[in-house]
Amino acid sequence: MPGRTVTGANFMHDLNASGESRLRIGSLFSGYGGLDLAVEHVFNAKTVWFSELNEPVVRVFSRHWPGVPNLGDITTIDWSQVKPVDILIGGFPCQDVSTVGKRAGLAPGTRSGLWAHMAAAIDALQPEWVVIENVRGLLSSPATRPTAQGDDHDRRNPDDATPGDATLRGMEPDPWHLGDSATRPLRALGAVLGDLADLRLDARWIGLPASPVGAPHQRFRIFALARRTVPHPTGDRLLTRRGNTRPCASETRDDRTVAPDHRLRPPRASWLTEQEKRIGDAVVPDRRTVQRWGRYAPAIARWEQIIGRSAPTPALLTEIANPRPAPPFVEWLMGLPAGWVTDPAHGLTDAQQLTALGNGVVPAQAAHAVGILWRHASSIRV
- Residue pair 201/380 in contact (Cβ under 8 Å)? The answer is no
Same domain membership, residue 307 and residue 203: no
Same domain membership, residue 104 and residue 178: yes
Same domain membership, residue 277 and residue 213: no
Establish if 267 belongs to a structural domain: no
Burial (CB count <10 Å: 0-12, 13-18, 19+), residue 169: buried
Predicted local distance difference test score (pLDDT) of residue 241:
37
Predicted local distance difference test score (pLDDT) of residue 237:
40
Predicted local distance difference test score (pLDDT) of residue 17:
41
- Residue pair 272/361 in contact (Cβ under 8 Å)? The answer is no
Amino acid in position 248: C
Whole-number Å distance between alpha carbons of 307 and 335:
6
Whole-number Å distance between alpha carbons of 140 and 92:
16
Domain count, the chain: 2
Q: Which whole-number Å values give the CA distances from 61 to 88, 92, 226, 351, in the listed order? A: 17, 16, 25, 17
Same domain membership, residue 369 and residue 352: no
Establish if 160 belongs to a structural domain: yes
Same domain membership, residue 367 and residue 350: no
Same domain membership, residue 311 and residue 287: yes
Q: Quick one: CA torsion of 194, 198, 200, 203, rounded to 10 degrees?
A: -10
Segments of the chain with pLDDT less than 50:
1-19, 94-107, 110-112, 148-149, 151, 153-174, 176, 179, 181-184, 234-263, 382
Q: What angle do CA 83, 270, 136 make, to 5 degrees?
A: 70
Amino acid in position 367: A
Same domain membership, residue 189 and residue 116: yes
Same domain membership, residue 312 and residue 176: no
Domain range for residue 178? 9-254+363-377
Whole-number Å distance between alpha carbons of 364 and 302:
14
Predicted local distance difference test score (pLDDT) of residue 146:
54
Same domain membership, residue 319 and residue 296: yes
Establish if 348 belongs to a structural domain: yes
Q: What angle do CA 222, 226, 229 make, to 5 degrees?
A: 165
Establish if 35 belongs to a structural domain: yes
Establish if 372 belongs to a structural domain: yes
Same domain membership, residue 154 and residue 34: yes
- Report the SS3 class of residue 315: strand
Predicted local distance difference test score (pLDDT) of residue 114:
80
Same domain membership, residue 229 and residue 84: yes
Predicted local distance difference test score (pLDDT) of residue 142:
67
Q: Which whole-number Å values give the CA distances from 92 to 89, 110, 282, in the listed order? A: 9, 11, 37
Whole-number Å distance between alpha carbons of 120 and 238:
9
**CATH code, domain with 27:** 3.40.50.150
Establish if 36 belongs to a structural domain: yes
Establish if 183 belongs to a structural domain: yes
Other residues' Cβ atoms within 10 Å of the Cβ of residue 313: 9
Same domain membership, residue 76 and residue 109: yes
Give the list of residues 6+ apart from residue 114 with CB closer than 8 angstroms, or none: 29, 74, 75, 92, 93
